[in-house]
Amino acid sequence: MSWHARRPRPELPYPATIPGVLRWAAAEFGDRDLLVVGEERLTFAEAERRSRVLAAQLLADGVGKGTRVGLFHNYGADFVVAWLAALRIGALVMPFSTLATAAELRTMLHLGDVAVLLAAPQILGRDVRALIAEAVPASLPSPQLPYLRRVEIRAGLGAGEPSADELVAAVEEQVTPADLAQVTYTSGSEALPKGVVHSHGALVRNSSPQATRFAFDLVGLTGEVRTVFCGFPFFWVGGSLTLGQALQNGWTVCCVERFEPEAVLDVLERERVDRVWAWPSLVQALRTAPSYARRDRAYLDRVLGTPVPGPVRHRGMSETMGNWFGIETKVIDPETGQELGPDQEGELCVRGFAALQGYYKKEREDTFDPDGWLHTGDRVARREWGLEFLGRYTEMVKTRGANVSPREIEVVLESADAVRHALVFGVPDPQVGEAVVAVLVPAPGREIDLDAVAELARRELAPYKRPARYVVRAEDEIGWLPTGKPDKRGLKSDYLASEEMMAR
């Protein structure tokens, strides 16, 4: 069967739901470590018990099937316990980026209709209480966040003895593969983030042993895997995929709270990690760390692999759970809709049992075409070895493994009094994929203070969304299309040929 063709759903020895997987994994792998973060270790059995305790507490507080539960935790046992607890009782989980500013967090809480927010007291030295005090009104409910009823800021989730086990078990039996499981927020083509919705069935089947083997075969990975290092944030789809794979394959997942190459190399050697899941820029940072040459080179070279120059393989997306298993693909001419053959450049379309259910608050007709295809906007070509990623038909910037909406950044920058227009686009960057560039047009009679604009971006935007470079241009230097929109393609071409690019 061709890798990109429709395939049947895998047969599993447990229900295709997170509670079904968790009960099976706890019985199968028991005292094996599920998670290692620094000195903290969480076994499969402990993850089941602690999440069962928290699940009972959530049920007692009125959380149930469909309740929107936001998570604001970094790598660690508390994230895993909260994620499992909410999913096993049928709540709709919304992990939020721990890089978010107060304004961004407030936006996601409002967009997601979140009823309960579970948050850590501190993340990487950041005072989360102060952040939430800025993002959330002191009195709830409020017109600003009409659905939010409770914010719980605490560590050590799931401590204590289990209670209400019979109730938790009865609730778990009502969770089905069709139930919505998670909303992963990523930047959309508009100013607001888009929420990618996945069901329990998609989450479980796309991280099943069959799906994992398929993914390994696709990129030529061989050998037994027992321990992996996860460099993907748990709040993005790569983290969810890794946790699902760990539960079903019996893996130990190793992480660090902050990615620092020397600390990661220490973890790899100490835990004898078999595979590293991380973006190429992070893997390259490990290979170029000062101590790399003095370490166990034979082991690290095998685990990290060797850089492969040439075409960029499409790694999947939030809409496909970061995998291609259970995903049917085709490449079309975006103008005519005609399906294209091998080695022809076109737009990627996807559908299948492991694809997204839709976008949060978007009607199905606004997401899929009449035949159920999602038109991704990704520009690709089908090769013998898979899909080559060639860029985007839309304006989306892909940086540090994340989608960034230019309009979201432009809205923030244009809130500065001196900025009349902000025009944002991405340019190739060997370290992060694409660097964010902002061209600013001054308001009449004003001069733009770039330090003040950069400070505004630091205050309102997560680090990976902040422009790496600013350029000021007069309005008559901006090309405008007949539609009245700025010619961003021409602007980007001019920038790439400009002195700013040459001076890098």
Q: At 464, phi and psi to the nearest 5?
A: -70, -15
Cα–Cα distance list, 414 to 84, 411, 456, 471 (Å): 40, 5, 10, 14
Task: Please check whether the domain covering 397-502 is classified as CATH 3.40.50.300.
Answer: no
185 beta partners: 195
Categorize the per-residue pLDDT at 498 as very low, low, confident or very high, splitting at 50, 70 and 90: confident
Residue 115 has pLDDT above 90, yes or no: yes
- Contact indicator for 137, 151 with CB cutoff of 8 Å: no
Q: Flag the least confident range among 132-141, 390-399, 455-464.
A: 390-399
Q: Chain centroid to CA 393: how far?
A: 21
**DSSP string for 244-287:** HHHHHHTPEEEE-SS--HHHHHHHHHHHT-SEEE--HHHHHHHH
Whole-angstrom Cα distance, residue 257 to residue 378? 32
Q: Does pLDDT of 312 surpass 90?
A: no
> How confident is the prediction for the chain on average, in pLDDT?
90
Cα–Cα nearest to 277, from 315, 311, 247: 315
Indicate if the pLDDT at residue 68 is higher than 50: yes
Q: What is the CATH number of domain 327-350+364-392?
A: 2.30.38.10
Report pLDDT digits (tens) over 69-83: 999 999 999 999 999
**Length of the chain in residues, anyone?**
504
Give yes or no for a cis peptide into 261 (omega within 30° of 0). Answer: no
What mean pLDDT is predicted for residues 368-379?
A: 93
Instruction: Determine the topology of domain 46-199 in CATH.
Output: Rossmann fold (3.40.50)
d(CA 319, CA 196): 6
- In angstroms, how far is CA 427 from the centroid of its own chain? 21
Work out the pLDDT band at 306, boundaries 50, 70, 90: low
Of the chain, the end-to-end C-alpha distance in Å amounts to 47
Q: How far apart are CA 357 and CA 364, in angstroms?
A: 9
Residue 309 has pLDDT above 60, yes or no: no
Query: What is the domain partition of the chain in residue ranges?
Result: 46-199, 327-350+364-392, 397-502
Structure tokens at 308: 């492969």
- Residue 170 has φ and ψ, to the nearest 5°, of -65, -40
Rounded-to-integer distance, Cα 67 and Cα 227, Å: 33
Q: Are 193 and 107 in contact (CB under 8 A)?
A: yes
- For residue 156, is pLDDT > 70? yes
pLDDT tens column, 18-60? 999 999 999 999 999 999 999 999 999 999 999 999 999 999 9
Predicted pLDDT of residue 20: 98
pLDDT of residue 241: 95
Where residue 311 falls among pLDDT bands split at 50, 70, 90? low
The mean-pLDDT minimum among 20-29, 127-136, 391-400 falls in 391-400
Choice between 315 and 377, residue whose per-residue pLDDT is larger: 377
Report residue 503 as tokens: 């001076």
> What Rg, from alpha-carbon coordinates, does the chain have?
23
Cα–Cα distances in angstroms (integers) from residue 92 to residues 16, 116, 185, 386, in the given order = 16, 11, 13, 33
- Report residue 266: phi and psi, to 5°: -60, -45
Q: Quote the Cα angle for 285-312-230, to 5°.
A: 45
Above pLDDT 70, what percent of the chain? Answer: 94
Q: Is residue 170 classed as helix, strand or coil in its secondary structure?
A: helix
Q: How many other C-beta atoms lie within 10 A of the C-beta of residue 367?
A: 17
Given pLDDT bands bounded at 50, 70 and 90, which one contains residue 247? very high
Mean per-residue pLDDT, 413-420? 90
Residue 1: is its pLDDT beyond 60? no
In this predicted structure, the answer to whether residue 502 has a pLDDT above a threshold of 90 is no
Long-range contacts of 214-220, Cβ-Cβ distance < 8 Å, separation of 24 or more: 214/3, 214/323, 214/324, 214/325, 215/323, 215/324, 215/325, 218/3, 218/324, 218/386, 219/313
pLDDT tens by residue, 233-244: 999 899 999 999
pLDDT digits (tens, 9 = 90+) for 178-220: 999 999 998 654 556 789 999 999 999 999 999 999 888 877 7
> At 408, is the pLDDT very low, low, confident or very high (cuts 50, 70, 90)?
confident
CA-based nearest residue to 200, from 179, 173, 185: 179
